[in-house]
Structure 1
Amino acid sequence: MKRKTAAETDQQARRPTVREAVHQWMRDVGIDTVFGNPGSTELPMFRDFPEDFRYVLGLQESVVVGMADGYAQTTRNAALVNLHSAAGVGHAMGNIFTAFKNQTPLVVTAGQQARSILPFDPFLFAAQATDLPKPYVKWACEPARAEDVPLALARAYHLAMQPPCGPVFVSIPADDWDKPSAWVPPRTVTRSIAPDPVAIRAVAKALDKAKRPAIVAGTGVDRDGAVNLLVTLAEQHRAAVYTAPMSARCGFPENHDLFGGFLPAMRERIVATLAEYDLVLVLGAPAFSYHVEGEGPHVPEGTALWQIVDDPHTAAWTPGGNSVVASLDLAIAALIDGTKTVKRRAPPRRQRASPEEAGQPMSVAYVLQTLHGVRGDQDVVVEEAPGSRGVMQQNLPMNGADSFYTMASGGLGYGMPAAVGVALGRQRKRLKGRTIALMGDGSSMYSIQALYAASQLGLPITFVILNNRRYAALQDFAPVFGYAKGEKPAGTDLPHLDFVSLANGQGVPASRVERPEQLRKSLETALAAKGPYLVELVVS
């Protein structure tokens, strides 16, 4: 039996302050990085800040949460976020909502005014602090006593890490940090959901009997580290694999022969795409996410639907078929072991995009085909260019596990700070490759302050701005809501933005490309830079 050191014995004998107990708890759960934008009620938390911890500054609270989201997804551990009370949490809500939809584990803390003056509605206090971030946190708490803060944070962490993962919130009064408390005993809480054996046998039996199976892969496949397992399962059954609508991660290598393409977020088109299959197995995604209303069945008539997802709420609202609640890595591994290798004719290969000709202004397809030709195999893409997403899906294939991140919420302002968090997380894990932030011009303006953090941290990020001088997604979507062809909704043009100046002003070198003959060399320069680099591409 290992004997305790004198320091360990002394630590257990005395009562620590709340601050000391929280710092030790952070070490125990592997959290040494705090993402924040400090305010007055948060200052006591950071007095005597440990030298083995790192504080990552964001210049706006939504940027802070976006960085933490990317970092948590990459490291697969909850990230700790510190926000200012009330207004600071309000600023952050856009990306708290996105973290909730992304199922990203975050422990979000916010300061609160000192307990002694709370009865007097003091300046910068949060009335009903725990209600503000709801319903987009799994749990919210303002501990009743100062000494309860460390245990509240420990509970919050375990809840954040439990499937379905997500953000949690703890409000902490400013005068709590120096109060006596107690050490939080290290403990382990199981985070995986094993599939029910009877249910998984039923799925396996359905797969074996199917003549033409299709698999729909969602965000949960990559989140649970199951992409390579899914490749094995698909090859075992010669099943076509589609990406679920609005998927925020890459669940299957998009250059694989069995990759069928991307399902649109429209009921009728999903049914038409899946009409040739007699079994559809949805993994790690809703069945299905829609963007516009539709009519008719959710799957083709006569097609069996099975779903495996780690969120019981998603399983409950699925409108048909059968659902199994389980972690995707465990469930797919069980299906591999429980099914046969079936001799079926392979589904037809997805048609690849034809080479795009150069033009001026450059097309997005031409730009993305060129980017695909120069990027490295280990580079990852963080995307927030919704107006160009369909073109990206045709011309910039993702490699599979941990190769792609976007927002599941549809809320803008995530991509730029998330790219900073992803790059920081990959640096923490000593992973090679560069992070590519593929951004629309409109999207980038929601969180342009992320460039400052990238510069200060010296991270290997290439920011690629697709500047089409408009909110393309809105203009392209307008006919669905009755606009005449060519009619522009009000407020959707974006002339005169200068991203080179915006980047240089925050310490990031940048260049602007308007002509196709400049494109390849400019992208190579941007991808070879030691630290962050921004390239603005003027596209049609």
Structure 2
Amino acid sequence: MAAMVTTTARRIAHEFLERHGLTTIFGNPGSNELPFLAELPAGFRYILGLHEGAVVAMADGYAQALGRPALVNLHSATGSGNALGALTNAVASRAPLVLTAGQQVRSAMGIEAVLTNVDATQLMRPLVGWSGEPSCAADVPRSLAQAVFEAQLQRRPAYLSVPYDDWSVELDANAVAVTDRSVRLGQQPSEAQLADLVAAVAAARNPALVLGGDIDAAGLFERAVALAEHLESPVWQAPSPHRLSFPNRHRLFRGVLPASIAAVERAMSGHDLVLVSGAPVFRYHQHEPGRYLPEGTRLIQVTDDAGAAARAPVGTALVADVAPVFEALLHRIPARASDNAARFLANPEPATAAEHSGLHPEQVFAALRETQPAETCYVVESTSTNAAWWRQIDLREPGSYFWPAAGGLGFGLPAAVGVALALPERPVAAVIGDGSANYGITALWTAARYRVPVTFVILRNGTYGALEWFAELLGTPDVPGTDIGGIDFTALAAGYGVPATAATDLDGLRAALRSPTDGPRLIQVDTAPTRPA
């Protein structure tokens, strides 16, 4: 009888990852992770970040831009803990991250030797959708496959802790069989469900569409435009959007819904039906009590996120793939006539700031709109300038906008690196407030190390502007800790190896934005303080 061919758990894992396109690894390694990283095949690339928070944010941007899982390698418990803040954004953006972490050798785990990840499967919960640790070395390949499939199916990060002595163990053909596995998800709505939804929309006197980031993530940007024009229906972006699912200067776009109960009620006034697609109902932020919806308004939610459907406080939900729902509405409801000729509206003249207070953010965003290619991907992390951003930017392409989905600072700089690595054919600009920039500043080193062509625009107003706005809302204007003046981001960028300049006027800003570059660059702009709305 012939002997079974054996190979190591590491080699099986590498082959599985390669077959599933997980050949880019974002990480910051420690000793426990080195055995997994040894003998990487030639087609793999390792993207080093200097802090685990930046590493996860890079992978978040990368996974969102590519639309498939991204692989992260963290160091035991400490590195995993450092990643938790960034992980909140990845959970909210439904980024399918596969987080791996090294564990102490099996014989040392019981005595909790240094670098043991105690109760490893509990550490990242409840953020991750699945967390595991192989029961033995033979279970490593299957456990890794489960982590990948859990992330893919749930569209939520999954976490796997692996004792580092497992990687060199030789396994038999049963372990190798996992490399051929694949898992697919289908959520086709039934004919009866489609008929009911079509009838409700067709009967509505004045329907409104509310679109969430999942529309863009699912590749339905253009179909959303077609549906809105077909129904001649006004469109709002769901509150606190992490992606944009409709052109923001389109004649049917009514803006981003404000993130409070009472404000949503006011915005939906006059609509007898609200169709929410690809978004929770709703991601409220500031507490402004009121009715969830105006009297007589019906809400229907269509989402493939069962959790979002289950926790919604109002309305009827259909848990299904949104694409066939859009197609049914497009083909089963007669088009509604429109006498509007222009599809897109002109941007208003940008506001200006008082003398000697820097540029108004609207001037900065207008300069970006005027100088950057239409297909530019913008990664934005500047809460206090939201109103100015939506007044001046003009986004007409899918995948043009990324934002920290959970509001966790430190996303913008590293996520822009991840987006640029995923989409080398598209220009990438990061628009970051000075308060936010400090949380992810180490990403500049990674951008320089791998020559990632990102334009980093730092809006420097010396304050946590959004926090000052919120202090006004809460009636606590005298709180400390909102002043962060005096930081020179051009010097920080130079230290990390990124060419940088300070633009002191509008002409200088435009010239800097127009200058060609084949790598990263940073432009610091002093701006006047503004409020989100």
Please name the residue that 1:531 is paired with. Answer: 519
2:346 matches 1:356: no
Secondary structure of 1:74's match? helix
Per the TM alignment, residue 307 of structure 1 is displaced from its structure 2 partner at its CA by: 0.7
Per the TM alignment, residue 351 of structure 1 is displaced from its structure 2 partner at its CA by: 8.5
Please name the residue that 1:7 is paired with. Answer: none
Please name the residue that 1:503 is paired with. Answer: 493
Output one character per residue of 1:40-81: Cα deviation in whole Å (capped at 9) or x when no partner.
011111111211110110000111111111111111110110
Instruction: Give distance in 1, aligned partners of 2:116 and 2:410.
Output: 26
Output one character per residue of 1:354-393: Cα deviation in whole Å (capped at 9) or x when no partner.
3334754111111111111111011110011111122111
2:414 matches 1:417: yes
State which of 466, 474, 498 in structure 2 corresponds to 1:473.
Answer: 466
C-alpha change, 1:384 and 1:53, in structure 2 (3 Å) is same
Contact 1:107 1:157 in 2 (8 A): yes
2:315 matches 1:321: yes
Q: Which moved more, 1:258-267 or 1:313-322?
A: 313-322
2:396 matches 1:434: no
Instruction: Give distance in 2, aligned partners of 1:421 and 1:488.
Output: 38
Output one character per residue of 1:438-482: Cα deviation in whole Å (capped at 9) or x when no partner.
100010100100001111111110000000011000011111111
Q: Which amino acid aligns with 2:195?
A: R
Per the TM alignment, residue 263 of structure 1 is displaced from its structure 2 partner at its CA by: 0.5
Instruction: Give distance in 1, aligned partners of 2:137 and 2:221.
Output: 44
Q: Which moved more, 1:12-21 or 1:238-247?
A: 12-21
Alignment of 1:270-419 (within 5 A): 270-343=264-337, 352-357=347-352, 360=356, 361-419=358-416
Alignment of 1:60-71 (within 5 A): 60-71=51-62
Please name the residue that 1:47 is paired with. Answer: 38
2:66 matches 1:78: no
Instruction: Give distance in 2, aligned partners of 1:192 and 1:99.
Output: 23
Please name the residue that 1:490 is paired with. Answer: 480
Secondary structure of 2:423's match? helix
Contact 2:249 2:345 in 1 (8 A): no
Instruction: Give distance in 2, aligned partners of 1:365 and 1:482.
Output: 27
Structure 1 stretches of at least 4 aligned residues deviating more than 6 Å after TM superposition: 344-351
Instruction: Give distance in 2, aligned partners of 1:344 and 1:421.
Output: 41
Secondary structure of 1:86's match? helix
2:204 matches 1:216: no
C-alpha change, 1:351 and 1:372, in structure 2 (3 Å) is closer
Secondary structure of 2:522's match? strand
Q: Which amino acid aligns with 2:525?
A: L
State which of 241, 249, 259 in structure 2 corresponds to 1:255.
Answer: 249
Secondary structure of 1:505's match? helix
Secondary structure of 2:76's match? coil
State which of 429, 435, 455 in structure 1 corresponds to 2:448.
Answer: 455
2:132 matches 1:141: yes
Contact 1:437 1:463 in 2 (8 A): yes
Contact 2:420 2:452 in 1 (8 A): yes
Please name the residue that 1:445 is paired with. Answer: 438
Secondary structure of 1:477's match? helix
Output one character per residue of 1:181-217: Cα deviation in whole Å (capped at 9) or x when no partner.
2212423322342223322222211111112111001
Output one character per residue of 1:226-258: Cα deviation in whole Å (capped at 9) or x when no partner.
111111111110001111001110100112111
Instruction: Give distance in 2, aligned partners of 1:520 and 1:356.
Output: 17
Secondary structure of 1:294's match? coil
Contact 1:356 1:369 in 2 (8 A): no
Per the TM alignment, residue 333 of structure 1 is displaced from its structure 2 partner at its CA by: 2.2
Instruction: Give distance in 2, aligned partners of 1:434 and 1:147.
Output: 44
Q: Which amino acid aligns with 1:453?
A: T
TM-score (norm 2): 0.94
Per the TM alignment, residue 276 of structure 1 is displaced from its structure 2 partner at its CA by: 2.1
Q: What fraction of aligned residue pairs are identical, expressed as a percent? A: 38
The answer for unaligned runs of 5 or more in structure 1 is 1-9
Secondary structure of 1:436's match? strand
TM-score (norm 1): 0.93
Per the TM alignment, residue 27 of structure 1 is displaced from its structure 2 partner at its CA by: 1.3
State which of 171, 176, 182 in structure 1 corresponds to 2:166.
Answer: 176
Secondary structure of 1:169's match? strand
Contact 2:278 2:303 in 1 (8 A): yes
Contact 1:237 1:344 in 2 (8 A): no
Secondary structure of 2:404's match? coil
Secondary structure of 2:317's match? strand
Q: Which amino acid aligns with 2:432?
A: M
Q: Which amino acid aligns with 2:70?
A: A
Q: Which moved more, 1:183-192 or 1:123-132?
A: 183-192
Q: Which amino acid aligns with 2:453?
A: P
Contact 1:286 1:315 in 2 (8 A): yes
Per the TM alignment, residue 397 of structure 1 is displaced from its structure 2 partner at its CA by: 2.6
Instruction: Give distance in 1, aligned partners of 2:225 and 2:276.
Output: 14
Contact 1:238 1:347 in 2 (8 A): no
